[in-house]
Amino acid sequence: MHRGKGMKFVGDSRVSATNRKPNIPKDYSEYPGKTEAFWPNFLLKEWLVGAVFLIGYLCLTVAHPSPLERVADPTDTGYIPLPDWYFLFLYQLLKYTYAAGPYTVIGAIIMPGIAFGALLLAPFLDRGPERRPSKRPIATGLMLLGVAATIFLTWESVVQHDWEAAAQQGKIVAEAEFDKESEGYLLYQEKGCISCHGDNLQGGPAGKALVDSGLTAEQIADIAVNGQGTMPAGIFQGSDEELQKLAEFISSVTTK
Ligand code: HEC
């Protein structure tokens, strides 16, 4: 007697037999009118779109040239660099108490590590078959939170940044010729002007350039004593004679 004779094999009742299909995609010939030759039709379209974008970018760079700053100076520790816009959120994160100072590791490595690691592992962590965002509340919620946090942090960093000081510190200033041994320059050093206005009177994050100020010696003497805007009063301490020499020196520093 044969084994299994008289026995019927039953399929899995949950899988209907009529719907079983081999897992092979259809051939493109089954989509009449939806195929096209790669050469030249498809490639020509690709090139056309590419050319439109290329010309668009060229027009944009001509209309808005890169904002160049002065030549980078590695000895200038007062220069505050700013990352490009797409990194501003990470930059902003490092300003908060628990992600800065002794906790920098948290803001610089741990938090971005968790966020980007989770993004990388998302296909393995969330294996549900559902595709609609509304049916995947945890994944959708975390993603929305991430997007909102990124937008918020970018926004905050733009609002908090001192754009005027940034423009000032990167400004291209023609270098003025003057004698660094002169009495006026020694006073400029001695009275502390140099710490904010730079060793070449070129200005910096804490003070304006004094080259080509267009001010008279009297006006400069007045500002040195009474301050102006964000420059505090009372910085100059000394005799009237020194003040006069200092003011005359600064007004004489021009590029012309
Ligand atoms: C704490 C930093 C600081 C120090 C120190 C300082 N300045 Fe200033 N100074 C500034 C700032 C900031 C400005 C821009 C003020 C404004 O217009 O808002 C300025 C502006 C000036 C201006 C006007 C420039 C212009 O074109 O309007 C003069 C002149 C000047 N300072 C002279 C001096 C002299 C002289 C000294 C030394 C006795 C000195 N400063 C020390 C910060 C400083």
- Mean pLDDT per 10-residue section of the chain, whose length is 256 residues: 62 63 68 78 94 97 88 81 92 92 92 93 87 89 94 96 85 79 93 90 84 91 93 92 94 84
pLDDT of residue 143: 92
The residues near 100 (Cβ < 8 Å, ≥ 6 apart) are 94, 107
Instruction: Point out the ligand 1 atom lying closest to the alpha carbon of residue 247.
Output: 35
What b-and-e string marks burial along 141-171, b requiring 16 or more CB atoms within 10 Å of the CB? ebeeeeeeebeebbebbeeeeeeebbebbbe
pLDDT of residue 209: 87
Instruction: Point out the ligand 1 atom lying closest to the alpha carbon of residue 220.
Output: 29
From 191, 228, 250, the mutation candidate for ligand 1 (largest count of ligand atoms within 8 A of CB) is 228
The maximal CA–CA distance of the chain, rounded, in angstroms, is 128
For ligand 1, the distance from its centroid to the CA atom of residue 116, given in whole angstroms, is: 45
Distances from the Cα of 155 to the Cα of 66, 86, 90, 229, angstroms: 22, 11, 12, 27
Binding-site residues, ligand 1, Cβ < 6 A: 191-193, 195-197, 206-208, 210, 213, 215, 220, 223-224, 228-231, 235-236, 246, 250
Burial (CB count within 10 angstroms: exposed 0-12, middle 13-18, buried 19+), residue 243: buried
Distance (Å, whole) CA 126 – CA 130: 10
Distance (Å, whole) CA 107 – CA 51: 41
Q: Whose CA is nearest to atom 35 of ligand 1?
A: 224
pLDDT of residue 250: 94
Burial (CB count within 10 angstroms: exposed 0-12, middle 13-18, buried 19+), residue 54: exposed
Query: Which two tokens mark 39?
Result: 């050469």
Instruction: Point out the ligand 1 atom lying closest to the alpha carbon of residue 195.
Output: 5
From 171, 223, 253, the mutation candidate for ligand 1 (largest count of ligand atoms within 8 A of CB) is 223
pLDDT of residue 103: 92
Distance (Å, whole) CA 203 – CA 94: 27
Query: Which two tokens mark 191?
Result: 């009275």
